[in-house]
Amino acid sequence: MNDFPRLPLGQWVKAAVDWVTEYLGVVFDVIRTVFNGLFDGVDWVLSAPPFWVIIIILVALSWYLRGWRFGAGVAVGLLVIQSVNQWDNSMDTLALTLVSAFIAVIISVPLGIWAARSDAVSRVIKPILDFLQTMPAFVYLIPAIILFRVGVVPGIVATIAFAMAPGVRLTELGIRGVDKEVVEAGYAFGASPRRILFQIQLPLAKPSIMAGINQVIMLSLSMVVIASMVGASGLGRPIIQALSRIDVGLGAEAGLAVVILAIMLDRLTASLGAGKTAFGRLLDRRKASGKPDPEDPADASATADANVDRREPAAV
């Protein structure tokens, strides 16, 4: 058994990483500067104002997208975070999640579109996505910390690699699920492939694409907590401190803050996919109550006819 030849896979990987760090160091320095700038900008926007200003903005956004009940729930949740002194850590985590998810979506959605339009690309991408989804989350931190040193940037890079797979898969699935007869009808009317994509396929695949973006955000939030092991700021630090000290109270407070952020981000992104804002719901209730919608041409015509009918007796 001991004579069986050993595959030097680890040495090959180490040699490849050494070559990359020696000859492509400038590229990684540029990426590090850009990612650091993005995080510092978003973190400043979230952390610089008083906490109540951010709460008002998020509650207003929640009310607009999901209604007053969810807005009230967001207000209570954010006040709980402030009351357990986890506000600064929560804003760092939210900034890290938003930056990582934004970059992951920018990469994953075009890749999903490419895979949907080319079977060859789809066959190449699928095993890579399988690899990314089955790799343990902690393993992503090893090459990230070698290439980008400690801090926020290796956490962002590891989070992007960990979270982007659902965005690619669900974007490809949504576009491939568009009715082929609708696409063929578009070609029959002389539409270009670009117009077919932006005016037929992407609008019809929007629910699936938004589900993928939702998953990207959720996975990003779970990974940024782990990323604190390489120096990223946020709620991961108190959680690791709680683990090292066996501090149940601190772990519960930080964990509760993570749960509140996860619920808020999940519901808000789900509402964006559904496309029902407060104004849309108001119009739906107006139609359900039988009142005419002034923006609906049919209702406007009916209203005008009714006004004419009411004026006729007076004219006679």
Least confident of 40-44, 112-116, 122-126, 266-270: 266-270
Helix ranges (DSSP H) in the chain: 9-23, 25-47, 51-66, 68-83, 87-117, 119-134, 141-148, 152-163, 165-176, 180-188, 193-196, 202-204, 206-226, 236-245, 248-274, 278-288, 297-315
Residue 280 has pLDDT above 80, yes or no: no
**What is d(CA 109, CA 209) in angstroms, rounded to the nearest whole number?**
8
- The answer to whether 208 and 171 have CB atoms below 8 angstroms apart is yes
Residue type present at position 200: I
pLDDT at 141 (0 to 100): 82
**What is d(CA 165, CA 111) in angstroms, rounded to the nearest whole number?**
10
pLDDT at 10 (0 to 100): 80
Tokens describing residue 138: 């902690």
In this prediction, residues 226-246 reach a mean pLDDT of 83
In this prediction, residues 53-57 reach a mean pLDDT of 93
Least confident of 146-160, 166-180, 241-255, 284-298: 284-298
pLDDT at 7 (0 to 100): 83
pLDDT band at 282 (very low <50, low <70, confident <90, very high): low
Q: Does domain 14-48+85-273 sit in CATH 1.10.3720.10?
A: yes
Quote the mean pLDDT of the chain. 82
In this prediction, residues 4-9 reach a mean pLDDT of 80
pLDDT band at 270 (very low <50, low <70, confident <90, very high): confident
Residue 24 has pLDDT above 50, yes or no: yes
Domain extent listing, the chain: 14-48+85-273
Rg (CA), the chain: 25
pLDDT at 277 (0 to 100): 61
In this prediction, residues 86-96 reach a mean pLDDT of 90
